A and B are shown apart, each in its own frame.
Chain A
Amino acid sequence: MLDLLSKIIKANGLVFAFVVVALITLLADRIATAIKQKRMSSSIAIMIGLLLAYIGGVLTNGKRGIADIELFSGMALLGGSMLRDYAIISTAYGAKWENLKKAGFAGTVSLFVGVFFSFFVGCVVALLLGYKDAVSVTTIGGGACTFIVGPVTGTALKASSEVIALSIAAGVVKSILTMALTPFVAPKIGLNNPAAAMVYGGIMGTTSGVAGGLAATDPKLVPYGAMTATFYTGLGCLLIPSVGFLIVKAILG
């Protein structure tokens, strides 16, 4: 009986993923109601997701969280980049052209500031914790931008695989923290209007972090933040292995 059920679930992974996420959402909604914080239900749902990812990782030693448990492999399709990007784009429906134009300049500036600021912080941490060579420092700095900028930089500069793994992990920490903390930080940093959301997207840069963080804060802001964030990784891959590396090399000699 159970064999048959698990066979059916495995053959219909995406559909089962809908069931799983629906249950998570329902549970999150109940918790949010119970603690009288109705607005937090999306961020609670995202936290449950992260917790499941942790459990999946511990149980399987895999890299794809809960999706590495065969029964839940459909989660990788539902939460993968294809449907994620498709859904992010759909949120732009209803966004106003004037709002985008108004914050366009600040959004563009925030992209450059955001890439170099996170890079700088990452480099300082790498230096303080004992890395002295320009290649490793630049790679870890890239990881502090996003988990794609790090390995792209590391590969271009021929960093060791250990350093590349660290840079990926730094990017993952950033994306998870951005997802989890944004709803709590939002009121303190004035993240409540389209212009601030565009700046936020450009500063944080992690597409998944920004998308998850804004979803839990105010879904109306998602298109504005996602719009700038989506340019961040590309800009980082462009600037960090070139300009960033030259700066670090000049300083470290």
Chain B
Amino acid sequence: MEILGLGILGGCMIAGLFMGNLLGKLVGLNSDVGGVGFAMLFLVFLSNYLELKGKPLPERVGRGIEFIAALYIPIIVAMAAIQNVVAAIKGGAIPILAGGLATLLSFFLVPLLARLGSKETS
């Protein structure tokens, strides 16, 4: 029943993208707003709910989902290999400075805001 895991995953994705596009339309953008995030919420909610009920997903169903999760890094490697790296380098100073500084400075914000999260929990 591994295919059931792939199916649950697919169902969450379609439902999530539907929600994301609906939200996009609602706020006047003709695009997806957080569709993947909604899909992840559905999956977390479903698996946590079933566990709480004492009826977790059967092991073989879970294995189907875990198989895709194991392909995650290889898929990311393929994704890296199809980026427009040449354009990023050739664009000159503006893209490198704007994108580069935004990235480097943003890193420093993470510990500041993460503290906000830990205050919330303690």
Contacts and interface: CB of A to CB of B under 8 A. Distances in A.
Give the dominant DSSP class at A's interface.
helix
A25 B13 contact: no
Contact of A203 (B10, B43, B76, B106): B106
Contacts of A45: 73, 77
A84 B46 CA distance: 21
Given A122-B102, A144-B99, A199-B117, A87 B40 contact: no
B110 A196 contact: yes
Q: Is the interface of B mostly helix, strand, loop or mixed?
A: helix
Contact of B80 (A92, A144, A169, A179): A179
A46 interface: yes
Nearest to B83: A53
Contacts of A58: 86
Nearest to B96: A173
B109 A144 contact: no
Interface string A75-104: 110111001111111111111110010110
28 contacts: A24-B77, A46-B77, A49-B78, A79-B75, A79-B77, A84-B75, A85-B17, A86-B9, A86-B68, A87-B71, A88-B36, A90-B68, A92-B44, A96-B44, A102-B117, A110-B109, A114-B106, A129-B97, A140-B94, A173-B91, A178-B103, A196-B111, A203-B113, A209-B103, A215-B76, A227-B37, A234-B29, A234-B31
Interface of B: 9-10, 12-13, 16-17, 20, 23-24, 27, 29, 31-37, 39-41, 43-45, 47-48, 62, 65-66, 68-69, 71-91, 93-111, 113-114, 116-118, 120-121
